[in-house]
Structure 1
Amino acid sequence: MKFASIPWAKPVFVLAAASLLAACTLPRLGPTKSEIFSGSVQKEGDAFIVAVNDRVTRATAVVPALGFSSSFTNAGKLTPDTIRPGDVLGLTIWENVDEGLLATAGTNATPLEEVQVDSEGFIFVPYAGRLRAAGNTPEQLRVMITEKLQDQTPDPQVEVRRLAGDGATVSLIGTVGAQGVYPIERSTRTLSTMLARAGGVTIRPEIAQITVIRGNQQGRVWFQDLYDNPQLDIALRSGDRIIVEEDTRAFTALGATGTQSRVPFETQDLSALEALAQVGGLLSLSSDPTGVFVFRNEPAEIANQVLGRTDLQGAQRMVYVLNLTEPNGMFLARDFVIRDGDTLYVTEAPYAQWTKSLSLITGTLTPFASVQTLTGG
């Protein structure tokens, strides 16, 4: 009797082949749900696996803290003619006497040309002494000189002019319309107006970050927050360096998703649901909606709060599990915040592996197509 003539032979052969293929691991996109769970601390692994719920979404909803310190926000606006170190000034002093302190015989006006403000911001005026010029306007300096001289000569009259120097300036670099050094003028005394003077930002406003460096201090804000929160539109100071750059945060997408790559953030806040949409969503024929995982190294303070503990120290390996088939699964995915450096992984559905096995056994695929299917191509 031939083997092929036995009615039950072919089904038995198919089942045997399926068992053989099951014993041999087929090519796949990554670990299965059971393999991920086997790495949990409860099973002597090194990662805490946590099912996402409302409490977990609240505990992990941490976003980058950007802003300016009080030294930035409390600084008053500069006037456009504020004197700075390196400026060159011209002084003229009139005295209401025939023979004054400074004037030569037959004149009552004394010009002092090209008086340079030194690196510490001071100038020297005869009989008035060393005076601080930097940070003052020409008018304020005029009053200071007049007060110093009026006890030595009657009714002195003083004129102060800026002969050379840019006054107060700032530098702008990065993704702005025109990089360069700009004077602080009456119309550009704040951060937002100076950015507008430089042609605005040349990247999408949602991902633009503005850094201001002032001496040994710096602050950073989102571009959009300048307009949502007027307090962040700080007054500028001479020497400020303004850097406009794109948000560098990113997450990694792997598994049964539309894209497997490192993906930059497109908004200030990014939820798990938005991250899935950003990479093309789940694959209808292979993704398992019960197996959406977020891998993260979580700071100890957050890990303790999530796990209800107080003894953890240092960063902890955490695996957050989202089940989109649960009644509130989509809401939890919408509320769970993705952070910089996260890995978003979606497991394959068991059906996908079974389809691969069955296709290979029954020979419904050509050899080339079989290889592509088995390798997830």
Structure 2
Amino acid sequence: MKNTGTEWARRAALLACVIGLAGCDLLPRSGPNKTEIFRGSVQREGDAFVVAVDDNVTRATALVPALGFDDGFLNAGVVGSDTINPGDVLGVSIWENVEEGILATAGAPASLEEVQVDGSGFIFIPYAGRIKASGNSPETIRRIITEKLETQTPDPQVMVRRLAGDGATVSITGAVGGQGVFAIERPTRTLGAMLARAGGVAVPAEVAVVKIIRGAKTGKIWYQDLFENPAADIALRNGDRILVEEDTRAFTALGATGTQTRVKFQTQSLSALEAIAQVGGLNSTVADPTGVFVFRNEPAEIANMVLGRADLVGAQRMIYVLDLTEPNGMFRARDFVIRDGDTVYVTEAPYVQWTKLITAFSTTVGAADSLASAATTAGLLP
């Protein structure tokens, strides 16, 4: 009886020790539990607002980045395909009606095959002099040359054609099929057509962002929106710089989810339900579906709307709570929008800590029994 009483006393002491370890938070876990998170709320003298997600919250926080061009880009007309720019190359042919003309003989044209427009926008034609070409069409340049030559040769016939359009160009870099400098020509006078000329985008269309820099102005648009909204297919201008890049937004998944990592957005908008699905869903063995939290620094104007206040200033720490077991819990998780930089955290179910506690107790008792047996065998214990 004495030995049995001693054994039970020893085991009770071990159990008390393990329970003490559990109370001291020394058992391993993936993060804070629901009680600890609520304990850190402003309502309990913490520094974060803990808010249960409802329909009003989903509406107030449903912000998806709206990308698009301002009127300066949208109202710019398409550049005429025949407009000459500095750097363009022209072909000029001149016929004269005299046997010995100043440039050619009768019936045979004087051909100036490659006349490049200089940086100031001018070309030089013998006997016609320096002529402004930039900003004019080939037809206008033809008339100017004709007028200049009429004073020196009777009824000159002039033909001007554009040989190359590399005077008006755009540069395309980033996630496209082929980066480079491309001429603005008749088929490629708009953004969509120019991207097609560059081989299209090299990242999923759902997360491709097109950025265009024109002088001091910058515009951005989703690649998908470019095709769904024809008005967004803006006209290009000489010197435009176009960058195609993958959406850089991401959220962090922690806790009892399928994986714990930083996850990039795969669509323009992402709901809490989709975010959980992207990381493999809830861990069915440990997750608490009543404890899905979204941590976010919320702008003051949105925080005031969510909390029904008007006195908050500056970004506020907000913790949104989703309970997937509620009748509308799945719908609210589907409607709640995840934003760039959010942390999605799923707490462990309460029984998980008890399971760990029992496992730790059993392991400790087993180790103690083994140690006692070894000591008895060695004669150290009766």
Shift of 1:79: 3.8
2:187 aligned residue: 187
Give the 5 Å matches for 1:5-154.
16-25=16-25, 26-91=27-92, 116-123=116-123, 132-143=132-143
Give the 5 Å matches for 1:282-321.
282-321=282-321
Instruction: Verify the 8 A CA contact 1:82 1:168 in the aligned structure 2.
Output: no
Distance 1:147 1:330 in 2: 78
Instruction: Verify the 8 A CA contact 1:3 1:9 in the aligned structure 2.
Output: no
Question: What amino acid is aligned across from residue 243 of structure 1 in structure 2?
Answer: L
Distance 2:32 2:306 in 1: 25
Indicate the RMSD between aligned Cα atoms, in angstroms: 3.5
Q: What TM-score do you get using the length of structure 1 for normalisation?
A: 0.83
2:262 aligned residue: 262
SS at match of 2:188: coil
Pair 1:339 & 2:339 matched: yes
Shift of 1:244: 1.4
Distance 2:364 2:199 in 1: 61
Gaps of 5+ in 1: 368-377
Larger Rg: 2
SS at match of 2:187: coil
Q: What TM-score do you get using the length of structure 2 for normalisation?
A: 0.82
1:75-101 deviation line (CA, Å, top 9, x unaligned): 2223444311123445566788999xx
Q: Pick which of 114-123 and 220-229 moved more.
A: 114-123
Distance 1:125 1:186 in 2: 27
Distance 1:197 1:105 in 2: 41
SS at match of 1:253: strand
Pair 1:280 & 2:266 matched: no
Distance 1:340 1:366 in 2: 49
Question: What amino acid is aligned across from residue 222 of structure 1 in structure 2?
Answer: W
Instruction: Verify the 8 A CA contact 2:96 2:106 in the aligned structure 1.
Output: no
Instruction: Verify the 8 A CA contact 2:18 2:360 in the aligned structure 1.
Output: no
Distance 2:328 2:198 in 1: 47
Give the 5 Å matches for 1:144-223.
157-162=157-162, 166-223=166-223
SS at match of 1:57: helix
Q: Pick which of 163-172 and 50-59 moved more.
A: 163-172
Instruction: Verify the 8 A CA contact 1:80 1:168 in the aligned structure 2.
Output: no
Give the paired residue count. Answer: 365
Q: Pick which of 26-35 and 149-158 moved more.
A: 149-158
Instruction: Verify the 8 A CA contact 2:94 2:104 in the aligned structure 1.
Output: no
Instruction: Verify the 8 A CA contact 2:11 2:365 in the aligned structure 1.
Output: no
Gaps of 5+ in 2: 368-382
Question: What amino acid is aligned across from residue 62 of structure 1 in structure 2?
Answer: L
Instruction: Verify the 8 A CA contact 2:40 2:47 in the aligned structure 1.
Output: yes
Distance 2:365 2:202 in 1: 50
TM-aligned CA distance change 1:334 to 1:365, over 3 Å: farther
Instruction: Verify the 8 A CA contact 1:254 1:345 in the aligned structure 2.
Output: yes
Shift of 1:23: 2.5
Distance 2:331 2:104 in 1: 90
TM-aligned CA distance change 1:144 to 1:319, over 3 Å: farther
Shift of 1:352: 0.7
Question: What amino acid is aligned across from residue 41 of structure 2 in structure 1?
Answer: S
Instruction: Verify the 8 A CA contact 1:50 1:320 in the aligned structure 2.
Output: yes
Instruction: Verify the 8 A CA contact 2:257 2:346 in the aligned structure 1.
Output: yes
Q: Pick which of 158-167 and 82-91 moved more.
A: 158-167
Shift of 1:296: 0.9
